[in-house]
Amino acid sequence: MILRLVLLFVTTTNAFAILYAPQPLLPLLAREFGVSTAAASLTISATVLALAVASLLLAPLADRWERKRVIVASSVLVTVPSVFLGLTDSFAAVVALRFLQGLFIPGIAATVMAYAAEEFPAAYKGRVFGTYVGATVAGGFLGRLIAGPIADWVSWQAVFGVLAAFSVGVALLVGAGLPPSSRHAAVRSHGGFRRHLRNSALLGACLIGFSQFFAFIGFFTYLPFYASEPPFRLSPTQISLLFATFALGVVSAPVAGFFSDRIGRRVTMAAGHLIGALGILLTLHPSIGVLAAGCALLTVGNFASQSATTAYVTDAAAEAQGAASSLYLVFYYLGGSLGAWLPGLLWDAFRWPGVVALTVGTIAAALMANAGLAGRGAKMRLSA
């Protein structure tokens, strides 16, 4: 059990390091290629949009394939665009290759969720999914933390070269050490995807994922622009250090998973929403200490909510866990894609207060989805 959990943690960490590494580099990329703030953000939003598209395509098929094979194959395939990103000097190629990366990541993320739901005891579900979410945090933290210093000391292309080398090692490790799924055949359901679309509790969880991730990605995508301007004037390396607050999510996610097993998923989600919104609002005060505190609170709140929500998804879906996980990720990454792009339309006119208003508003929408749709038809012991 421990070996499986460690290997799932490692492969998930790798996938999310690839996803988030360019975030601290956005001001640098905007200057390097002479593009706007909104255009530079395409290096994030294109990847997240591809994640949503690939998750939608994967959902009806996710329960037909053996889990380990999908995880290993996706871990290998995601390495290829990383190699070419390390060689290109074209912004259009960067966006296209980032989109290609996004197409392969759901094969890791959704399949790891399904594997975890099937292979671990139900009594530990909250803690297992808390660990999974902790891995997404660790990946985001690692990718963002290394990107700034590597870009400062070598080049932005070198960031992707390092990620490609790490991905190869992870694919080999998981291929050699992760046991094949033992319960996959018992949960196949050819009509599962269609039934999930009629599941109110599951759709409520999907809307929560959409709204919460919109806010989180929107905040951290435009944070580098805010932090690089007066009164902060931070360098790429210093901006990367703001992302060190992600380390708190590695702790908050499994802790929230533990509490969601005890006090309920939706209560834990709501607490995360409120903590995250408070963190965003704090950043309106122009102080580097308060800015760091706001980043920390948003991180704690977001990943506490996400930990409970991912467990709730598997509570709400009694079968076809792969399809349920993929459907959730469609909404989740669609929210992230729009979150990486839409605040850019407000940035020119309203700057940081516009980003704050929009992201706090979407967290309020998550709270409403939690209070309403997510509770309908939910008969699971741990969901109330």
Report whether 131 contacts 253 (CB < 8 A): yes
- What's the N-to-C CA distance of the chain in angstroms? 28
* 380 confidence band (pLDDT: 50, 70, 90): very low
Q: Which of the pair, 59 or 216, is modelled with greater confidence? A: 216
Q: Which of the pair, 324 or 306, is modelled with greater confidence? A: 306
**pLDDT score recorded for residue 273:** 96
What confidence tens digit (pLDDT) does each residue in 266-320 have?
999 999 999 999 999 999 999 999 999 999 999 999 989 988 998 888 787 666 6
- Which of 150, 21, 166, 212 has the alpha carbon at shortest distance from 98? 21
Report whether 82 contacts 18 (CB < 8 A): yes
What is the DSSP secondary structure assignment for residue 182, as one 8-state letter?
S
What confidence tens digit (pLDDT) does each residue in 9-61 have?
999 999 999 998 988 888 889 999 999 877 888 898 889 889 888 887 876 66
Q: How far apart are CA 23 and CA 216, in angstroms?
A: 12
CATH of 2-375, one of 1.20.1250.20, 3.40.50.720, 3.40.50.10800, 2.40.30.30: 1.20.1250.20
What confidence tens digit (pLDDT) does each residue in 253-262 have?
889 988 888 8
Of 139-148, 162-171, 179-188, 238-247, where does mean pLDDT reach its minimum?
179-188
| Arithmetic mean of pLDDT over the chain | 86
**pLDDT score recorded for residue 131:** 87
**Mean pLDDT throughout 94-108?**
93
